[in-house]
Structures are given as C-alpha cells and as structure tokens.
Structure 1
Amino acid sequence: MTSENHTDVSGFLLLGLSEDPELQPLLFGLFLSMYLVTVLGNLLIILAVISDPHLHTPMYFFLSILSFVDISFTSTIVPKMLLNIQTENKAISYTGCLTQVFFFIVFVCMDNLLLTVMAYDRFVAICHPLYYMVIMNPCLCGLLILLSLFISIMNALLHSLMVLRLSFCTDLEIPHFFCELAQILKLACSDTLINNILVYLETSLLGVGPLSGIIFSYIRIVSSILRIPSTGGKCKSFSICGSHLSVVSLFYGTCVGVYLSSAATLSSRRRAAVASVMYTIVTPMMNPFIYSLRNRDMKRALRKLISAIPSFLWLCHLPCMWASRTSQKK
C-alpha cells in the first residue's frame, strides 16, 4: 500500500451508520428531528434563564452555558451528516475533517469541565449554604467558564496540530458518521505513537480528573445531606442535585460504554459508531428535558416564556400591518 503526504490528501469518506439505501431517508428524518429538538430545547433553556430574574443564579448561569455548548456540540456533527445523507455523498474535505475534529474536542471537553464546575456549585450550595453567594460570586463564575474554555481550546489545538504531522494511506474510509480523532489515527501510515500517548494522557487528565472531582463532590454532598435532621430537607437537597447527577450519569455512562466496546474489527467499529449516537446526539437532546422536568423553577420560567411567544409574534407583526394599511390608503 502506497503512502501519501497529508498535503496530497483531498479528503476522507465518512461511511456513516449504514450503507443501505433504503435506510437513508429514515436516518435523515430521525436525525433531523433529533437535531431540531436538541436546538429548540436548549435554546428555550437559554432564553428562560435570560428572561427570568429568579434564574439569575450561578446554577442556572452554568446551565445556560451547558445548553449553548450542547447546541454547538451537535451542530459540529449533525448538519454535515444530514448533508451527506441527503446528497448521497460521503466525502468530507481534509480541512473540513480537521475542523470537525477541533470543534468536537473543544465542545466535548467543555461539556466535561462544565459538569465538573456544576458539581462544585452544588457542593458549595449544600455543604456551605451560608457562604454560597460569597464563594460563587460572578467573578469566580466567569473565571471558571473562561478557564474551562481555555483548557478545551488548548487541548483541541494540540491534538489538531499533532494530526497535521501525519501522512495517510490511500485507504481513507472512516467507519463513522463524523471525523473522530481515534478513527483518523487508525488511517495514518506514519508513526502515531506520540499521538496515542497524547490521547491517553489527555483522557487521564481531562477525563478521569474531572470525574474524580465530581465523585468527590457528591460524596461530600451525600454526607452533608444525611446529617440533615428533617426528611423534607433531605428530599429538597437531593432534588437540587438530581438533575445534574442524571446528566452526569448519562454523559459519562455513554462515553465509557462507547470506548470500552470499541474494537479493531469493522463490525465492532460500526457498533461503536451507533453507540456514539448516544453521547453525541441523544445526551444533548435529553439534557433540556432532564433539567426542565425535574426543576419547578425552570418549568415555571418555561411556561412564562412560552406564554409570551404569541404576544411577541403579534408585536413583530404590527409593523407589517401598519405598512399594509398605509399602502392601501395611498
């Protein structure tokens, strides 16, 4: 097999979830629906947090950032997949593939770090309630978001620059529906030892590290809750953490499941691609439902926001009505 330098590589082929032509319309409709639900649900969370003064707290500030990251996360993957299905063209350019790798790493890392920040927020709220607003002040909240973004961008940039040094073989088929870093490294003809070491190191630091922080926070949270004398106080404290804990379990559970089940054979890689749908598409879609259905303040803000939509549309229509009547008088 002959090798080519990356400068001669025009692009890759994304094989997708299935090559069966009869399944393509079904896959297109399914993923388009899931994408629209994800965008609409997370957008409603953001608008509800912005519009309701009662939600201007650190917890809901982090939630709105998480919703924005989830929209960006799925928008990095799904539109290109839908375009490939609709046009029956599996190609993605070399530049487009590396761009997708970069933004995918940025947003998945940002998701990971945000869940850790939200766990710390819940830890302070329950274990140090009297000092909550002092500790979680706007300056610290903004600093935590900027630090998470900086780490995510630097991590993605490092991986992307390391891919640029690789040369690729003539077999450029990726058995996945998006450009995943691990799949690209398998196509390289040059030595990928440094890249693989970097992946394992990054997984240890930015995967195990934040997860350990979340587990430690919840150990302290559970310990504090058990010391609460009243049953009502315990239930209220558990309900505060319930939504976040559900999202953490869904995110990490699907990620760990995908990468533990990944194997070298083509069939296993296809199964891993199908399983990847869980954390790349299903998890961002489920987050708004988890947070809204388990949170009375969020449900109240969403009802208020949705009830205000007809009035907003009517106000937007007023200029058109006025222009129409003016033209009729003339």
Structure 2
Amino acid sequence: MLNNILNIGTRKGQRHAVRMTNLFIVIGLPLLILNVFVQALEFNITATEFWLINGIVILAYCATLLLNWLNQNELARAWMITVFVLDITLASTRWFGIESLIFFHLVILYPVAFLLWQNKPSIRNALLALISVAFFAVFYWPSEPMYPSNIEQRHSSMALVFINCAILLSLVAKLFSVDTQRAHNHLAKQARIDPLTNILNRRELERQLEQACSSVASMAVMLFDIDKFKAINDQHGHHAGDEALKHVVATIQEVLPEELMFARFGGDEFCILWPNCKRPQAQYLALQLVQHVASKPWQHQQHRHRQRMTISMGLAFDTQSQHLSKLLIEADHAMYAAKGKGRNTFVAAWIKPKHSVPA
C-alpha cells in the first residue's frame, strides 16, 4: 500500500524526486491531523474557521498526490512547498502566535528541498530565501494571535513542535536512505538486465564469463538466433518482433535450468553459459532447446494464425581455462554452420575435433 502511494506519478521519469514528494505527504498528513486533534484538546477550540482552514490545508496537501498522478511533477513539488510555508507561517501568526514556536517546522524545509532538487542549487537557494522571508514575517506579524496560550500551553506547544520536527527529519532521512538504495538497485539492474526480455544483457554475460575463466573446470557456451526473424519484422512490424523475442525467451526458460546464465546479445541473438558441465550434458540440452522452441508456435496478438518459430544454435565447450575467452567465437562459427545445415538445428564445435550434431 505504502509503495503504491509512493509510486504515484513515477511512470514518466524523475522517479526519485516524485517518490520523495509523495513521501513528504504520507508523513506530513498524519502528523498534521494529529496536531489538529491535540490542539483542539489543548486550546478547547471550537471555532468553525479552525476546522475549515485545517480541512482546506489537508486537501491542499492531497492535491500534491493528484498533481503527481497527472504527471505534473514539477508543479506538485512547488505546490507542496508553497502550501507548507503558508500553513506554518499563518499558524505562527494568525493562529497561535510566535510563542507557539510552530514556525520552527520551517527548519525541515531545506533538507526536503535538497532531496527534491538535488541537481538544482538555484531552486534550493530560492527556497532558502523563502524560508528567511517566512521567519521575518513571523517575527513582524502585526496582529495578535487568535488563541493566545498560557505558560503551560506554550510548553506543550514547544514540546509538540520539536517532537514533530524530530519525527519528520528522522523519517525522511530513513525512508530517503531506503529509497536511495532502491534507486541504486534499480540502476544496477538496468545495467545488467535487457529491458525487453528481462534476462542478462551481453555486457553482464561477458563479465560473468571473464570471472568464470579462472574458477570453473569446464564451460559450455550455446549461442543461437531466431531463424528468419527479419521476415517477422518486415511482415508484422517491430512490435510483433518484440513479442516474438519474448515468446522465444519464455519458451527457452521453460526447460532451461535456473543455475545457467541466459543473456540477450542484441537483436535476435542469445547466449547461454553452463559452467562445470559435461560435454554430453551440454549436447543434450542444446538438442532439447532447439526441439522445444520448434514445438511451441507463436501467435501474434493481431493475427489468428500461429507461426512456427525455430532457432539455429552453435555449441562450444572447453575444459581448459585459457581457452574459455575464445568460446564465444567458436560458438558463433558453429551457429553459422547450423544455419548452413538448413536451420532448426545445432552444431557442436569442439576444439579438437570439430563436428556437427543435427537436431
């Protein structure tokens, strides 16, 4: 539930700043409602104006979520900050007076501004000036507060203000660190995962192959592409081609052991790494994959007919770590040999000797 609220308006970029805006609302609204309740008990306030204004303030904060939902993220942030400054300033002047110390809530504004506009120091400086003006307005407000407090009420208000500031700052800091970690994990995933098929990308697979060179006893590399894939793009468009790619990946994953590394090399070319396997195991799996893809026709969403999909695969295998870096080249040559044999098959290219195995 909380994560769904924080993700409101994140689908069009600026994910981190938007989530922090939503976070401020999620934290601030309960504290605002709690303050209204405590103040009503403390000051015996029954004025309709008090409840009307606090209701308007709550709705104003909720409007921030609506603006984010409408993807007006910049406006949502500016609106939230404006409502916050006006709320605290008016509460410290018109409502409870300077002795309530409510204006000290303004001290959390700059840390929030830093989280929302990390790369825009000019905006942060403008907000710092706004805070200064707000403090100046509080101290030189000409009228008396509507609800002057006695000494006990002042102490109670002071305690409540500082507790609120502590809660806001600690929660913002904690949830900001959590959100930052999520953002880092998201970026790390983007760097290693192909966004279309949700499997490893070529860079990550080559990195893992390089790491495995000195720590494995053997390595099998299976490189394949989709037969006549260009015809699918030409006949049905690139969107259909993307759907076909995802269909083949899902079909491969149905029989592929989880411990194997599966990556998209680009276009319709894919690679599978199987460390510490035996040659007959790799050959059997290659045969199984080729046959399984051929047995699972693909149906485009806008066309009723089902289209048979096939792959051509090259298989390379080695037990000598000094040759592992060359396996991709060996597998690539074997894959083109499989195409030369008529497609829908695989060719196994052992270092010595080289031979083919039909599917």
TM-score (norm 1): 0.30
**Structure whose CA Rg is larger:** 2
Richer in helix (by share): 1
Richer in strand (by share): 2
